[in-house]
Structure 1
Amino acid sequence: MTGDPFGDERLVELYDLDNPDGVDHAYYRALADELKATKILDFGCGTGLLTRSLATPGREVIGVDPSKTMLDYARKQPGAESVTWIDGGSTAVDQTGDADLVLSSGNTMMYVSTEEFPAVLATLAEALRPGGVISFESRNPAARAWEQWGRDATYGERDTSVGHLIEWMEVTEVDNGRVVFDAHNVFEDGRDTVSTNVLYFRTAEEITAGLEAAGFGSIDARAGWNGEELTDASRLFVVKAIKK
């Protein structure tokens, strides 16, 4: 996970509007309740919308994110005092071996490079107790979602809380599952704030192999938030695994 694609405070303010509480957050909350989790690590917590909702009485919740801009915003939100916020990536994760659940929402794991992926999974495993659960989602490369991310398909204008905004996306590189795209955001001052994002698309087999190497078993991959069965056309993997 490199750089901070959400380094502009105006973009962070719009993030929760564009990524509201939905079926994905409901899935993670239900999983936490099912596990009777008393300690949860949210890796790549962003603005903390999901993180804060997990912080119920009697539960310890830790949010970790490399974006200082996002965490600064998260710390100002209602309920933020119930969460421990940690600036940084996987190297900032405390490997305490006592968490019941590690989750990673918002396609966070897709920002982890191929080279970093094994070490990140190993670190998250060390944060969990034996029998603890990791869960995250990732896009299926076979669906080739990036082919819909061109300017023509994504261009739009809208009035927002930070003023009129013109926005679009442009893919600049595709190489063996690594996809680089620029998100353009033109505010009323005429300045184009460009955030460059690098995503790593992995097959279900690649994700499974990574989890097994990190010491996880009982690996289950579904095609959606309601337990849909995987097919070749599935757009999403929702992954769950147990630390041995």
Structure 2
Amino acid sequence: MIPDPTDQYITTILSQCDIRGTELLEIGCGKGRITRDLARHAGRVVAADPDGTSLKQARAVVVADNVQFMHAPAGVPDLPPGSFDLAIYTLSLHHVPVEEMPGSLRKVASLLRKGGVIVVVEPGDGGSLTEAKEHFGAGSGNERPAREAAIRAMHALEGWTVGETVQFRTLFLFADDDDFFASMLPGCRQQPESFQVEVRAFLDQHRTGNGIFLDADRRLNVLRPCGNGECA
């Protein structure tokens, strides 16, 4: 699987934030796909994730000198207050347990310098990959309830205002059916044959001469500390 082959994540982030030369904290870096692009613009990136296996893969992929990967079992690393100019949740806030989302956001806010911002990139509602997740349980499955909880948590963060939602769409390229099964449905072979036939029929709708292209909606919000009566 090749995620975001047209670089829509970094394009959208840069359209909303000037990260040049910043000290940046990435929450939920996963395998480092977005980390790599952030490092090309930021002065320093601390990329954290609770999954040690994903971090190992990220370290192998991203070798930039200005990136430090950190294992953060609780999601947010324990670092001194005021360490960063900007923090980005890269498709990770909705993976935080719902009851822990407010605390995660507050902790991240405490790590920012005066005037720092929080960028939250989350899944949107549409797209063929989203359909595959919700209909077949592909990848992380139906994320709709968790996405809605993440949005509520953002708007409930005291002392912060949520900017307008920026919508964008990204692509996922799969070489063939086997690539999709291995990446998104590793247990598919244990499912009834009828299920596999249904999945293949779905993939046929998105098959091209260059592979299988699925897409997914994404949303980006910039959270800023209140000032000039913004949160009054």
Given the two structures, how large is their TM-score scaled by the length of structure 1?
A: 0.59
For residues 139 and 41 of structure 1, the distance between their equivalents in structure 2, rounded to whole angstroms, comes to 20
Post-superposition shift, 1:30? 4.8
Aligned length: 177
- Greater helix percent: which structure? 2
**Larger RCO, structures 1/2 (Cα 8 Å, 6+ apart):** 2
* Matched ranges for 1:31-180 at <5 A: 31-32=16-17, 34-56=18-40, 59-88=43-72, 89-105=74-90, 107-140=91-124, 148-149=132-133, 150-151=135-136, 169=138, 178=145
Post-superposition shift, 1:78? 4.8
CA shift digits 1:103-123 (9 cap, x unpaired)? 122x21111121011000001
Task: Report whether the alignment pairs 1:209 with 2:155.
Answer: yes
Aligned to 2:225: 243
For residues 171 and 44 of structure 1, the distance between their equivalents in structure 2, rounded to whole angstroms, comes to 14
| Structure 1 unaligned spans of 5+ | 1-13, 152-167, 179-199, 226-234
SS of alignment partner, residue 122 of structure 1: helix
Q: CA RMSD in A?
A: 3.4
In the superposition, relative to structure 1, how do residues 207 and 138 fare at CA in structure 2: closer, same or farther (>3 Å)? farther
CA shift digits 1:128-164 (9 cap, x unpaired)? 1121111122235699x8664323xxxxxxxxxxxxx
For residues 136 and 22 of structure 1, the distance between their equivalents in structure 2, rounded to whole angstroms, comes to 17
SS of alignment partner, residue 81 of structure 2: coil
SS of alignment partner, residue 129 of structure 1: strand
For residues 56 and 142 of structure 1, the distance between their equivalents in structure 2, rounded to whole angstroms, comes to 29
For residues 91 and 170 of structure 1, the distance between their equivalents in structure 2, rounded to whole angstroms, comes to 23
CA shift digits 1:174-193 (9 cap, x unpaired)? 8xx54xxxxxxxxxxxxxxx
Given the two structures, how large is their TM-score scaled by the length of structure 2?
A: 0.62
SS of alignment partner, residue 164 of structure 2: strand
